């Protein structure tokens, strides 16, 4: 019986080794500014991240759960938002003649996706379906650290590794073969605020932006949490003072 148990454990452990290898190296934790009780988003970084999404990511990835007017939360003015929305067209209607028509997008519209449907997206991406990025950070184990690691994890395949046609080698991606070509390199964009566009900077900025699309209420939640903690501290002090007052005449 003991030999049977040991043999079974050995087989299971050997089967687990390839699975662990497929997961890639451990993620390196980044010092994100929004972490912690007092953490909050850096609006300048979020705007740089939006620029990367606009200039690079939006060619393949949608943001179906985000409206253009939400960009006001990261520092864009109403005029800027109107101009950003007007770059895209949406189908609307029917009009008085019962026909659908195209019009410029408005701030109230959600981000216009790059493809009309999933089939068109697959056809343009070698059969792969680019995921919607609205909740991407929350949907991936490791959150922002995983997204950052993927963006900076592209490298030449090591000797003996097989990379199928249309795939790229990524040291972090499970299985290492990823359908998305390397999206970011040094100077992939020219930042409007003059920040030097290194690969590391670009990866952190777009990750911050995608974390905001996943948790746009984070700053408000942290601010409310601090106020609640402060209220509880004051309330505790008042109850303690009241207790001392009520029991002050009792002989202890």
Q: What is the pLDDT of residue 89?
A: 95
Q: How confident is the model at residue 15 (pLDDT cuts 50, 70, 90)?
A: very low
**Residue 187 CB partners (closer than 8 Å, separation 6+):** 197
- Percent of the chain whose predicted confidence (pLDDT) is above 70: 90
CA atoms within 13 A on the CB side of 205: 30
Residue-level pLDDT at 87: 96
Residue corresponding to tokens 């992939």: 188
Which tops the pLDDT comparison, 206 or 127? 206
Q: Do 203 and 232 lie in a common domain?
A: no
CATH number at residue 35: 1.10.760.10
> Looking at the structure, do residues 51 and 139 belong to the same domain, yes or no?
yes
50 has a pLDDT exceeding 90: yes
**Widest Cα–Cα separation across the chain:** 89
Query: Can you tell me the mean pLDDT for 197-215?
Result: 98
Answer whether residue 33 is part of any domain: yes
In a domain, residue 57? The reply is: yes
- Cβ proximity of 112 and 89 under 8 Å: yes
Residue 18 has pLDDT above 70, yes or no: no
**What's the pLDDT at 228?**
83
Rounded percentage of the chain residues whose pLDDT exceeds 90: 68
Q: Are residues 54 and 148 in the same domain?
A: yes
246 and 143 within one domain: no
229 has a pLDDT exceeding 90 = no
Q: Is residue 181 part of a domain?
A: yes
Per-residue b/e over 117-151, b at no fewer than 16 CB within 10 Å? Answer: eeeebeeebeeeebebbbbbbeebeebbbbbbbbb
Q: Are residues 230 and 205 part of one domain?
A: no
List the one residue out of 136, 172, 170 whose CA is nearest residue 27. Answer: 172
Same domain, 157 and 203: yes
Tens-place pLDDT, residues 87-142? 999 999 888 888 899 999 999 999 999 999 999 999 999 888 999 999 999 999 99
Q: Which domain holds residue 249?
A: 221-252
Question: How many domains does the chain contain in total?
Answer: 2
């Amino acid at each position: 019986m003991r030999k049977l148990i040991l043999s079974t454990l050995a087989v299971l452990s050997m089967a687990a080794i390839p699975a662990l290898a497929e997961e890639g190296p451990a993620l390196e934790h980044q010092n994100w500014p929004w972490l912690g009780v007092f953490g909050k988003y850096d609006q300048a970084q979020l705007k740089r991240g939006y620029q990367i999404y606009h200039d690079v990511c939006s060619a393949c990835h949608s943001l179906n759960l985000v409206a253009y007017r939400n960009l006001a939360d990261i520092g864009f003015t109403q005029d800027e938002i109107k101009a950003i929305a007007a770059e895209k067209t949406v189908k609307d209607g029917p009009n008085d003649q019962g026909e659908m028509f195209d019009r410029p997008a408005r701030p109230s519209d959600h981000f216009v996706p790059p493809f009309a449907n999933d089939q068109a997206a697959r056809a343009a991406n070698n059969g792969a379906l680019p995921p919607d990025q609205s909740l991407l950070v929350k949907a991936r184990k490791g959150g922002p650290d995983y997204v950052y690691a993927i963006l900076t994890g592209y490298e030449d395949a090591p000797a003996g590794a097989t990379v199928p046609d249309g795939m790229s080698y990524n040291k972090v991606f499970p299985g290492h073969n990823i359908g998305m070509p390397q999206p970011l390199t040094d100077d992939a964009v020219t930042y409007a605020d003059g920040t030097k566009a290194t690969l590391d900077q670009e990866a952190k900025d777009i990750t911050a932006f995608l974390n905001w699309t996943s948790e746009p209420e984070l700053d408000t939640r942290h601010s409310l949490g601090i106020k609640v903690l402060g209220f509880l501290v004051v309330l505790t002090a008042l109850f303690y003072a009241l207790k001392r007052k009520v029991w002050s005449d009792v002989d202890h």
